[in-house]
Amino acid sequence: MSVSAPGSLDAELKYLSDVAQREAELKRLNEEIDMELNLSGEDKEDKEDSLGKKAVLGKKLYPKAATGAAVLGEVTNKYGRGSSDRVVGKQAKVERPVVVEEEQVVGEGESEVVMASIPVASLDMSDASSPSLVGRSAQNNNVPLYSPSTEAPTESSASPSQLNSPNPEIGSAAQLRFQKARIKSLTVQLQEQISLKGIAEKSLSGLQKKFKAQSEDSKRMHKNIADLTSSNAKLKGEVERSGKDAEAYKREVSSLKKELNQERKEKQQGEKEHRAREIRLARALEECDKFKKTLQDATDETKGMGTDYRKDKEKLKSQVRALERQRGELLTAFKKQCKLIEVLKRQKVHTEAAKLLEFTEEEFVKVLDWGN
């Protein structure tokens, strides 16, 4: 199972689902190992023998598996529980292709362990190839070899009870050698089972450590998920605010574009008016030049007429002085007449007052006379 490093929220969720699957697998393997190791007696030894075979066979069939627990899980998933590798105390026959496959792939050092873990009672002694396979393990442990043509009983004719009882057809010396070889083989199997048990316990402790580490990783991942969820909510809020700001900016940009277009139109209109003013100014300058030329011509003409102009000017000045003198005389006469008019008005007022006073005196005299 390959677990990728978390890079985003989807990767985090995928990583957590993979971690959960790994935890479930480790829990299942721990339960299976506990069930295997909690057995007692011959069943426990049979189970340990089965675990050893599964481990060795699994390394060959699943070379990519990293741990023994993964090997056991894959072998169990492939062959199922209670497979036919429990052969102690039974007359099960091991298939030769599987044994040869183990011997070729695993190698000499490990083939001895595999073959030594197979009980003697499970071998088909009637076959000529079986003693050779058993013989490789027996020779390494200084166990004498026997062929089916001499004194070894066959699986079809020998049962577990017959292996422990003397056979009248075989000599006592041969039976003694056979029993010694069987004892040595069983001793080797016992040592191997003990070593396999130690290996299983070590793998169990390693799996427990891995399970603890995976639990801590799971807790850390849950915490990371909570943090990512909160950060995701914050990011969503920021995205919404950014969207609102973007809408406001868009509206502002549209208004600025309208203002820019209006200013461009006004600028174009101003440029047109400026060009028109320049044209009118050029025309006015041309007319001014014409007027300057005309004035220069008139000035030249007046220079030629200077003497006549002076004479006329003197005449006009004398006439002006005479008119001014007449005007002064007229003003003096007018002022005198005004004064005379004022005097006459006063005289008129005095005469009217005298007449009125005379009348009042007469009336007063009459009143006085009437009173007397």
pLDDT digits (tens, 9 = 90+) for 168-197: 556 788 888 888 888 888 888 888 888 888
Q: Kindly report the number of other CB atoms within 10 A of residue 176's CB atom.
A: 12
pLDDT at 357: 79
Model confidence, pTM:
0.24
Query: For residues 57 and 153, which has the higher predicted lDDT (pLDDT)?
Result: 57
Encoded amino acid at 214, one letter: Q
Encoded amino acid at 252, one letter: E
pLDDT band at 125 (very low <50, low <70, confident <90, very high): very low
> Contact, 116 vs 185, CB < 8 A?
yes
Helices (H), 87-169: 96-106, 108-116, 129-140, 160-164
pLDDT average, residue stretch 356-360 = 77
pLDDT at 37: 58
pLDDT digits (tens, 9 = 90+) for 325-349: 898 899 888 888 898 999 898 888 8
Which residues touch 172 (CB under 8 Å, ≥6 apart)?
A: 166
> Contact, 102 vs 111, CB < 8 A?
yes
Q: At what angle do helices 129-140 and 96-106 cross, to 10 degrees?
A: 40
Q: How many residues does the chain have?
A: 372
Which residues touch 130 (CB under 8 Å, ≥6 apart)?
A: 96, 123, 124
pLDDT at 177: 85
pLDDT average, residue stretch 223-242 = 89
Which residues touch 201 (CB under 8 Å, ≥6 apart)?
A: 37
pLDDT band at 36 (very low <50, low <70, confident <90, very high): low
**Cα Rg, the chain, nearest whole Å:** 71
Closest CA to 143 of 113, 187, 101, 96: 187
